[in-house]
Chain A
Amino acid sequence: MIPIIIDIVLRTGDIALAAVALSAGYSLVKFPNIALMQYATVGPFLAYLFASWGAPLVAAALAACIAVGLIAVLLNITVFDRLLKSGSAIAMIGSLAAGMLFTAALLVTAGPDSRHFDFPVEAPLNVFGSPVTGPQLLAVAISLAAFVLLAALLFLTDIGRCMRATATNPDLARATGIDARLVVRVIIFLSGVLAALGGIGIAVKGELNILMGQDLMLPVFAAAILGGLGNPMGAIFGALVIATAETLAATLNFGPLIGKAFLFIPANYITAASFLILVLALLFRPHGLFVNEVKRV
């Protein structure tokens, strides 16, 4: 049981940051930004680059997150804001195309091979009788710290209040003197930072390669949609659901259900679990688990 829970927590951490980033961005700029998945790839690569120049890992990671946040803001101003005038679907296609350009850039500069962050190899720690490595703990700590900071920012600070006000009703917020453009930029910056941080979290406990973002895409979308796109805290819950489903699909023995001794879902189908949840969610709860559909004229 304990190993399953640990797996779920680790997997939730993988998905949740990017899902929160997607949802937070969507709350103010109404299109699903596929390029975020590439932010989660570019982030660890930049951190790796800075670390290879001799920066300590924390500083490298921080610098990479800020750089990605700035890239996100820049792309929003130059590309997505303009595309959004032609509709959210067009903006989504544009974000997909931007993602391809990132992949191309990484392919030429970093190449297709996987890399690792250099950590001194230590014996794994013992958590309730299960082995957990230092980097894994670090990744979970990164996610938790990010959530706490984000929640504090959203619910305790002035800028957070402005963000939530702008997300609910941009016109009203503007009328009350909130600088909506600034609020949007701050949120976009944060979504870039969160996505990059998510990617770094995945990379420190495993490897980094240019396909990371692509592999992340559908689980992240599934998590964000389950939580209700535009609801960042819901996305964490969505990530938990997806991680649980994936982990259970991977470890549970379904044999007894059909009267056989053993039946495990083939490993290759486990990635498809989140796709399937996504399709089911879109069929039956397109606005997330928490919201019933509101019909408007």
Chain B
Amino acid sequence: MAETVLDARALRKSFGAHLVLDDVDLAVEAGSIVGLLGPNGSGKSTLLNVLTGFLAADGGQVSLRGSSVGALPPSSIARLGLVRTFQLPRMPSRMSVREVLLAANRAQGGLFDALVGRPTDTARTDDLLEQLKLAPVADQPASAISGGQKKLLSIAAALANRPSVLCLDEPTAGVHPSLREHIVAMLKRANAGGVTLLIVEHDMGFVRNLCRRCVVLDRGKLIADCPPRELTEHPRVVEAYLGRKVARPVVEVPA
């Protein structure tokens, strides 16, 4: 049994009267790949936002490797190794793709480093650009590339950040199938290198391929925690996706 890196207890979050996270408990083991599923609006992105400090929870706690991070600002949480991507990545218009990727790795990025002219490690940046087929647009403004490319860039940037736990919000939505393979391969490699992954995803093929454990959110409640192949049998999951009165468990999850 591996150690728990990310541990959320009794998380609650509501927007006005709308309860979006309802007592969510989630423990993620070091080195694992966990899929986070659920219908649209079930609270997946909100959960990522709360875990990574972008939203303050109304109740509950989050700890990273045993120490509580609930009160920290998002940048401090990222510096502790818990890094995330956004569902709709927004990119700067007056920075090139390469510059965004360079900036994503904070090493030697301080004021002092700049004044003494310390060089930065560019080999890894070039490598990532190559791997994600972003090399041809490397010098374009980052806001000018396509939606799918932005998605790739945000994943590459998150990896360049050298996280220990990486939360991805729908990494393959809008990405061409051939590139999905690349993403899967890259994430597998990162995982083999020790990165724990928590992935929000609607694509079941992707989830089956990558995750050995899935958790399902429905209307803010965690309703299932099982291997992906058991999802189709799980009565509450079927009910959440297809409504109450369906007898036959077919799961082709809506994208």
Residues of A within 8 A of B (CB): 295, 297
Residues of B within 8 A of A (CB): 49, 54-56
How many contacting A-B pairs (Cβ < 8 A)? 5
How long is the Cα–Cα vector from A295 to B55 in the complex, in angstroms? 7
Interface secondary structure of B, over-half rule:
loop
A297 proximity list for chain B (CB < 8 A): 49, 54-55
B49 proximity list for chain A (CB < 8 A): 297
How long is the Cα–Cα vector from A297 to B54 in the complex, in angstroms? 6
Nearest Cβ on chain A to B57's Cβ, whole angstroms? 11
Nearest Cβ on chain A to B254's Cβ, whole angstroms? 24
**Which of chain B's residues has its CB closest to A294's CB?**
B15
Nearest Cβ on chain B to A222's Cβ, whole angstroms? 29
Nearest Cβ on chain A to B73's Cβ, whole angstroms? 11
Nearest Cβ on chain B to A153's Cβ, whole angstroms? 29
How long is the Cα–Cα vector from A201 to B149 in the complex, in angstroms? 58
B56 proximity list for chain A (CB < 8 A): 295
B55 proximity list for chain A (CB < 8 A): 295, 297
A295 proximity list for chain B (CB < 8 A): 55-56
B54 proximity list for chain A (CB < 8 A): 297
**Which of chain A's residues has its CB closest to B86's CB?**
A297
Nearest Cβ on chain B to A77's Cβ, whole angstroms? 25
Nearest Cβ on chain B to A202's Cβ, whole angstroms? 42
**Which of chain A's residues has its CB closest to B87's CB?**
A297
How long is the Cα–Cα vector from A297 to B56 in the complex, in angstroms? 10
5 residue pairs of the A-B complex, CB under 8 angstroms, read A295-B55, A295-B56, A297-B49, A297-B54, A297-B55
How long is the Cα–Cα vector from A280 to B55 in the complex, in angstroms? 26
How long is the Cα–Cα vector from A74 to B49 in the complex, in angstroms? 43
How long is the Cα–Cα vector from A200 to B18 in the complex, in angstroms? 48
Nearest Cβ on chain A to B90's Cβ, whole angstroms? 11
5 A-B pairs with least C-beta separation: A297-B54, A297-B49, A297-B55, A295-B56, A295-B55
How long is the Cα–Cα vector from A295 to B49 in the complex, in angstroms? 12
How long is the Cα–Cα vector from A295 to B74 in the complex, in angstroms? 13
How long is the Cα–Cα vector from A295 to B15 in the complex, in angstroms? 11
How long is the Cα–Cα vector from A295 to B56 in the complex, in angstroms? 8
How long is the Cα–Cα vector from A297 to B85 in the complex, in angstroms? 12
How long is the Cα–Cα vector from A295 to B13 in the complex, in angstroms? 13
